[in-house]
Structure 1
């Protein structure tokens, strides 16, 4: 029987080759508490730090992803860990891989690898997955290094989250200003990612791992990754979708209407998202952001190995459906249905697996 503990990010992830990923305020404890509360409400055994957690206190519901936090959850009887945190190769969970535990989430070493936008997009490009023109710029770089790219372009962290720290620049002056700001702030590390700006529609596609699911009260088996319906992003600010940490996604996102959802262009990019998920061998949901050029052809521009999992569950957070939840509602799932189906994809940790 699953006894689930949800982990949140307690401290910043280590820098990787000089690139840092800033920690989200609260370390995803808010979405972790949403998950824990919803599961417990529907009869799942959820291990929590507090015997009687306060519905409004996030930290009553989730354990820190430290060695001590994981051990505390184990000592309370947890045998399944929902990795609602930023993962990396030597994450503390690795020290417990010799225990009889399961994970809900990705393999930590895979997250470290594929969180690098340039590495992942280059890998996909070599597999004939359409990716916008892109380049890495390091501190002290000269503009001639990206002369083959045209303005406008997008500047973003190499290991960012969503649209945090992302800017659209129209000319060399704006580019230099943004680069100076990013490097001087020392928030994202010594290099950034630059890509061509696509002026068409932006959509987000959630890809679920292969496995058995319950849809319309029937068991459905997927032998390869599969996609939830695409969600359209609207109300952009200077061409960039608002960061979910600053504006609830329900204010700027909606599932595509059926005529567009089942269009050839969306079908093609959905199949390519499935292919991308196969290439990186996902074990849990990922969120793939795509955008069309002026001819309407979609390109993959960002893969999120740890998508947001907030949900309209607790009374004070009824505006907090995530992009994944918006997509899930289109196939008839409520928040608990989404969580149940994700939890059913938990996988057994092998002690020799490198995290």
Structure 2
């Protein structure tokens, strides 16, 4: 019988190439607890760190992604690990890939590569997927770089998380001030990713991996990655969608209307998102943020290998639909339907 343990991020990931990926407070234990509670109340077998977890205490429901935490889950009978954490090469969970366990989430080695926004976007560009103009600025080229992108621009961490640390920059002075601030506190490492600002509509597309799904009570097989309905973002702050830890996505996001969902430009951006997901060999949902130019043509500007999976499972978190859940509701899935379909895509590392 499948028995699931949900892992959360217990510590900062290692610095890679001088770049530090920031850590979400709580390490996704909030969404992990949402997942665990929703599964348990729907009769899906899970294990938790304590026998009677408190509904409001996130850490009662999830295990740290450490050797000790994983072993604790195993001792309690887990045979499936939900990787609701930040992954990277040589993550502790890789030590269990040679055993007969299942996993829900991405391959750590893949995340390690594609968490680098610049590397990923250059890969997409080389495969003729539309990406905004980009530039890397580091402490090494700070005094000699040539921007070659008209203002306004967007500055962001290379290994960022959502919109944390992302800023709209309107002129050279603002850019100089931003770079000095970032490099002086070293919060995001020694390199900043700069890209063209697109002033059109912003949407988020969740792409599901190939596999067998249950939609409208019917099994459907997708041989390739496929897109959930696009979600538009609004009420931006200084041109940037606010971090969902500050503003719940339900307050600034909604699924596009049917007419726009069926439009040529949205269908084309789906095609590009699916192509990108196939290149990345995804094993779980990813989230791709896209923005239109003045002509309404969409560009993929941020690919997130670890989309948030919060949900309204617990009474005190009824406003916690994630962007992926908002999209899922459009095809008739509620939170448990989304989670069950993610479980159906669980995989063994030996396969």
> Which TM class, normalised by the smaller chain length?
over 0.9
Counterpart of 1:266 in 2: which secondary structure?
Answer: helix
Q: How does 1:1-355 map to 2 (within 5 A)?
A: 1-142=1-142, 145-350=145-350
Whole-angstrom distance in 2 between the partners of 1:65 and 1:105: 13
Whole-angstrom distance in 1 between the partners of 2:272 and 2:150: 26
1:98: how far off? 2.2
The farther-off stretch of 151-160 and 89-98 is 89-98
Whole-angstrom distance in 1 between the partners of 2:233 and 2:139: 32
The CA RMSD measured in Å over matched residues stands at 1.0
**Residues 102-143 of structure 1: CA distance to partner in whole angstroms, max 9, x if unpaired?**
110000000010000000000000000000000110025347
Whole-angstrom distance in 2 between the partners of 1:143 and 1:41: 57
Whole-angstrom distance in 1 between the partners of 2:140 and 2:176: 10
Whole-angstrom distance in 2 between the partners of 1:326 and 1:265: 21
Whole-angstrom distance in 2 between the partners of 1:2 and 1:186: 43
What is the aligned residue count?
Answer: 351
Normalised by the length of structure 2, the TM-score is: 0.99
Runs of 4+ in structure 1 deviating by more than 2 angstroms, as ranges, are 140-147
Counterpart of 2:308 in 1: which secondary structure?
Answer: coil
**Residues 52-96 of structure 1: CA distance to partner in whole angstroms, max 9, x if unpaired?**
111100001000000010011011110000000000001000111
Whole-angstrom distance in 2 between the partners of 1:197 and 1:348: 41
Q: Structure 2: any 5+ residue segments left out of the alignment?
A: none
User: CA separation of 1:18/1:119 partners in 2, compared to 1, >3 Å: closer, same or farther?
Assistant: same
